[in-house]
Structure 1
């Protein structure tokens, strides 16, 4: 089986793609937490931190600056927005955090792969130079949060 070629990401989208990498790491860390039988409260505390510091700002930037390139009626954008809502709901669930975290780590991973392999490629193809320049301006709004202190996935 031939290995897929690496995606050449437009410079304006690279910071968001880097954040996607952190999302994949989040999923891996939650998976490790379950494998190591870490308490749900510790993993949920990390998920709450990650949601506030990474996911919410990331979704806002995508929805405000990136998704408008294809427009709200585009099926890929409709799918991305629906998945954003589902992911937010999983992060915010306090009734069954164990179940939500388990679903979340898989759903977030799948969502990131969809955005990287499909959606961002379509946006790159469709965006005008001025739209990419506008997306490029969001680099200043992307910050790197402090490291999370309870590295339960390393225990």
Structure 2
């Protein structure tokens, strides 16, 4: 294990995306508070899952988490992925499920930022992180592509 983290654009880029995911969570909160039709919010979360989150989770599960081996934090992250996917895959669009989704997703992102990615930076080699950066370049997320901005005034 390295005593100091490796600085790299790969983890910085992923951290910037985490800010975007936290904005998605805020958008869900605003939509619920404004009593936006739940199916509109659900269409947004389905789009988010399909266009970004599935790809992001695959990148983490196949290329980032293996850098840490089988440890308790990776197991927690994988369990979080399963819970988030269950909430996103639920046929229901009720307020409770959307609240749980928002809470689970925002808590998980903070765990990744505060704990998991810091540990990865300590264990990964510069070559590992360059590889992740190349793979990550294939993932693009922009909320601007979504037309129904129900969270705006």
Match of 2:78 in 1: 81
Deviations 1:101-126 (A, max 9, x none): 11010110000000001000000001
Alpha carbons 2:25, 2:106 under 8 Å: kept = yes
Q: Aligned partners of 1:84 and 1:53: how far apart in 2? A: 16
Which range is displaced more, 125-134 or 93-102?
Answer: 93-102
Following superposition of structure 1 onto structure 2, how do residues 104-123 of structure 1 map, counting pairs within 5 Å?
Answer: 104-123=101-120
Q: Aligned partners of 1:13 and 1:142: how far apart in 2? A: 14
Q: Aligned partners of 2:47 and 2:80: how far apart in 1? A: 20
Verify: 1:152 aligned to 2:126, yes or no: no
Q: Aligned partners of 1:9 and 1:24: how far apart in 2? A: 23
TM-score normalised to structure 2 length: 0.89
User: Which ranges of structure 1 fall in alignment gaps of 5 or more residues?
Assistant: 1-7
User: Which ranges of structure 2 fall in alignment gaps of 5 or more residues?
Assistant: 1-5
CA RMSD of aligned residues (A): 1.6
Displacement of 1:30 after TM fit?
0.5
The higher-RCO structure (CA 8 Å, 6+ apart) is: 2
Alpha carbons 2:38, 2:95 under 8 Å: kept = yes
Pick one of 34, 46, 69 that aligns with 1:36.
34
Pick one of 52, 56, 69 that aligns with 2:54.
56
1:152 aligned counterpart, secondary structure: coil
Following superposition of structure 1 onto structure 2, how do residues 86-97 of structure 1 map, counting pairs within 5 Å?
Answer: 86-97=83-94
Verify: 1:98 aligned to 2:73, yes or no: no
Displacement of 1:96 after TM fit?
5.0
Deviations 1:2-21 (A, max 9, x none): xxxxxx96312122212211
Q: Aligned partners of 1:50 and 1:59: how far apart in 2? A: 12
